[in-house]
Structure 1
Amino acid sequence: MLPEERDRWEAIKADGGLGDTAGLPKKFPYYSSGPRTSAERAGCLVPFYLDRRYPIYECNENCKCGPGCKTRVVQKGRQVRLEIFKTPNGRGWGLRCNSALRTGQFIDTYRGEIITDDEATRREKGARHGTKDSYLYSLDKFAEAEGIPPEELYVIDGEFKGGPTRFVNHSCEPNCRQYVVSYNRHDPKVYEIAFFAIRDIAPNEELTFDYLDKDEAEDEEVDPEERNEGGMKPVKCLCGARKCRKYLWL
C-alpha cells in the first residue's frame, strides 16, 4: 500500500453486537481466572475453539451473568495497543503489537464497509487485473448450513474504511488466525471476524495470518500457473517463512 493510498483510508470504530444467541448451544470459549488458570491465560481461547475454529458465541444482553462475565471478550473491543508500520521488504504496511501476546489472546476485529456480493464482485475486478490489492472478506461461514443463496450474502470491504487489522499481512507460517464471533443477536449473514493469536507473540513482532486458510487451501503440488482461475494472476509470496509456499492468491 502506497503512502498516498493510506491517506484515503479512513479508520472506523466497532458499532456493537451482531446476533441474539439466546437458546443456542454454547461451550465456554475462554479461560477464566481460578486456581487452575494463571492470570495471564484468563480471557484466552481454550484449545477446543483455538484448534478447531468453531464459531464463538459470547454471552449477550439476554444473559443474566452481567457485563463482568468472562465470556464477554470480543464485544469489549480491542484491549492492546497496535501499531501500523512500513515493512522493510516491499510488503507495504504491516501491523504489530508493542506488548507480548499470549496464545489464544484476542487482538482485534476486522472492520470495513458491509456490501453486497454483487458490489464485492464489481470492486474485485480491479484486484483481479493486478491494479490493486483486495481487502474483501465474504461472510459466508453459515451459508451452506443455513441455505443462504450467494446473492443474499454480505462482504466486508476494508479498503477505504476500517480498523488496524486491515494492515495485517500474509504469512505461510502465521501467528494469528480469524474466528467467527457472534453476540447480542444471532444473524448468520452478519457477524464479527476476530483475530486471535495462535501462538505466543513477542513484542513488536509483525502480526500475520494465512490468506489461504488451511480449510480452503488448494493442493500445493499443483503448478501455480494452473491455479489461475477467474483471471487472477499468481502473486509471489514475500513472507520469508521457512515453509513458504512461494505464491499467494488475493
Structure 2
Amino acid sequence: MNDVQENNTVPASYIHIRRNFYLVKRKRDGADTNTGCTNCNANSSCRENCECRGLSLSCSKTCHCSEMCTNRPFRKEKKIKVVKTNSCGWGAVSSESIEKGDFVIEYVGEVIDDALCEQRLWDMKRRGDQNFYMCEVRKDFTIDATFKGNSSRFLNHSCDPNCKLEKWQVDGETRVGVFSLQSIKAGEPLTYDYRY
C-alpha cells in the first residue's frame, strides 16, 4: 500500500535553515574547536575501523586523514522530498536510493533550553497544535524545528523504522544526524522511532 498522495496543498510555513540556530549560549563539548580524530594519517580514508567513528566523533578540518575520509558524515545529505501522506499528515520520502548506514540529513532547528521548551509546549497546547517538531538531545539542549528547520522535520514515526538518529561531535559541536538502518529505495517513506 502506498501511503503517499500527491496534491497541491502545502505544509505549515517555517523558515528553512541549514544549521542549528542557537537561542541559548552555544556550548562546545571540547575546549578546542578543532577536535577530531588524531589517530589518522594522510593515507587514511577512515573507514569503519576508524577509532573515532565508534565514538561518534567526526574527523575535523584539521585531521590528518585524506579527502577520501568517510568519517565526516555531515558533508553530503541525500535528496528527500516532502509529501502529503494518506494517514500521517506530512512526511518525507527519499528521492534517491540510499544504502544501509548512509547519512541522510541533519536534524536542525532552534536549539533551546528546558525552560523555553516547556514554555513552547504549553503555548502549543493552548493553541491546540497537534504537531510539534522537537528532538531532546540532553538537558538544556532541545532542537526545535517548529519555526526554523529543514526537511528532516517531516520524517514520521514508525515502530519499524528505516532510519535512526545519531548524536555526533563535529568540530566540538553536538549535531544530530539521520542515518539509514537499511537500504531504502527512491520514493520510499523515511521514518524513525520517536521513542515516546
Higher helix share: 1
In structure 2, what is the Cα distance between the partners aligned to 1:165 and 1:63? Answer: 29
Q: Residues 55 and 180 of structure 1 are in contact (CA less than 8 Å); yes or no, is this contact kept in structure 2?
A: no
Partner of 1:145: none
Structure 1 residues 180 and 12, CA gap change in structure 2 (3 angstroms): same
Aligned to 1:9: 14
Is 1:22 paired with 2:35? yes
Query: Residue 100 of structure 1: which of 74, 97, 120 is its match?
Result: 97
- Structure 1 residue 198 corresponds to structure 2 residue 185: no
* Unaligned runs of at least 5 residues, structure 2: 1-8, 21-27
Deviations 1:51-93 (CA, angstroms, capped at 9, x unpaired): xxx651011023122544221221x141x2110000022x111
Residues 129-159 of structure 1 show CA distances to partners (whole Å, capped at 9, x for unaligned) of: 753322111221xxxxxxxxx4xx2211101
- Which structure 1 segments of 5+ residues have no match? 34-42, 141-149, 213-248
Q: Is the 8 A contact 2:165 2:179 kept in 1?
A: yes
1:7 Cα offset (Å):
4.3
Q: Does 1:182 align with 2:169?
A: yes
**Higher strand share goes to which structure?**
2
Q: Given residue 99 of structure 2, which amino acid in structure 1 is its aligned partner?
A: R
Distance 1:71 1:109 in 2: 15
Instruction: Give the structure 2 partner of residue 61 of structure 1.
Output: 61
Deviation per residue, 1:185-221 (Å, 9 max, x gap): 2x5xxx1110000011122110000111xxxxxxxxx
Q: 2:145 aligns with which of 131, 149, 158?
A: 158
Q: How does 1:20-59 map to 2 (within 5 A)?
A: 20=33, 22=35, 55-59=55-59
Of the three residues 173, 187, 204, the one matched with 2:160 is 173
Sort the Cα spacing of 1:131 and 1:72 in 2 relative to 1 into closer, same or farther, 3 A. Answer: closer
What residue identity is the alignment partner of 1:85? V
Identity of aligned residues (%): 26
Give the structure 2 partner of residue 132 of structure 1.
Answer: 130
Distance 2:36 2:58 in 1: 12
TM-score for the superposition, normalised by structure 1? 0.59
Check conservation: 1:21, 1:182, Cα contact below 8 A. Answer: no
Is contact 1:14-1:77 (8 Å) kept? no
> How far did 1:104 drift?
0.4
Aligned-partner Cα distance in 2 for 1:63–1:49: 11
SS of the residue 2:70 aligns to? coil
User: Taking structure 1 as reference, are residues 81 and 63 closer, same or farther at Cα in structure 2, changes over 3 Å only?
Assistant: same
Say which structure, 1 or 2, has more relative contact order (CA 8 Å, 6+ apart).
2
User: Would the aligned equivalents of 2:163 and 2:182 in 1 still touch at CA under 8 Å?
Assistant: yes
Distance 1:55 1:64, change over 3 A: closer
Aligned length: 173
Which position in structure 2 is the counterpart of 1:223?
Answer: none
- What amino acid maps onto 2:143 in structure 1? I
